[in-house]
Amino acid sequence: MLDHWPVAKSELIIPTCHGSTFVLDCGMENAQPVVLFHGAQANSAAWLFDVALWSTRFRLFAVDMIGEAGFSAPVRPRLAGEDHALWLDDVFAGLGITRAALIGTSLGGWLALDYASRRPDAVGVLALVCPAGIGRQKNFLLKALPLLLLGQWGKHKVREMAFGSAPKTLPEEARPLVALMDEVARVIKPRVVRIPQMTDAQLRGLHMPILTIIGGRDVLLDSQDTRERLRQSVPQAEICFIDEGRHFLPNQAPRIMDFLERSIHSFGSLSA
């Protein structure tokens, strides 16, 4: 998949307290840094169709999360506590970043929120797509388990419930990425955990510009709860609520690009 990356890139290995971490580095040299966190059961290839736009304005670092289906260390420290913040401290140090914008989706959204809460001086802007850690986590597994016993048909129905119906004809350029995600789903054991939820006090402590894009038909997370908690505790947050959206919300790169450009004054600069 990395051979299909749409812009020039460097592939980096950063040593950290939780083993090696793989990062794709692309975009404008010496521009404002933006760090990308993919969701569970994925890797940095998930950003394939977004980076061409964002890289025209920013320096991008797409991080393979530890314990997921990328090239980073296959370790899964507990989500509660400082483990992931300490890991990202090492990633930021290895990249020479002191302050950055964070873009995160799903579990990557939780990762961005957790780091912003624990290291507010290191995070200038947050852009979140279907983020875990704010609204109630639904018990989707109870609905999915009976279907998963029905073989490939059942797995297909589970994916359809979570991500919506696939197009009857996939665009040629999307087929390698879809094949990769199918292979990840087949061979990587998913995290079956309760993702830590931000407290009201933690949400009120987020003073940076925030964009949150959520889907009204998300079967994994309660988007209504996410919206209400942000309205109550994070008044500066911009909320884009897509009524018919599910947990996968494609084609959000232009909306995020607009938000990043409007929030540019909050960015730190790259430091070596």
Q: 170-175: which pairs have CB atoms within 8 A and are 24 or more residues apart?
A: 173/4, 174/49
d(CA 7, CA 124): 25
**pLDDT (average), residues 31-37:** 97
Q: 2-264: which CATH architecture?
A: 3-Layer(aba) Sandwich (3.40)
Under the banding of pLDDT at 50, 70 and 90, the label for residue 172 is confident
Concatenated DSSP letters of 187-243? HSPPP--PPPPPPHHHHHT--S-EEEEEETT-SSB-HHHHHHHHHHH-TT-EEEEET
pLDDT, tens digit (0-9, with 9 covering 90-100), for 38-69:
999 999 999 999 999 999 999 999 999 999 99
Kindly state the percentage of the chain with pLDDT values over 90.
75
User: Is 192 within 8 Å of 237 (Cβ atoms)?
Assistant: no
**Extents of the domains making up the chain:** 2-264
Average pLDDT over residues 128-152: 77
**pLDDT score, position 217:** 93
Tell me the pLDDT tens digit for each residue of 85-94. Answer: 999 999 999 9
The pTM assigned to this predicted structure is: 0.92
> pLDDT band at 187, cuts 50/70/90?
confident
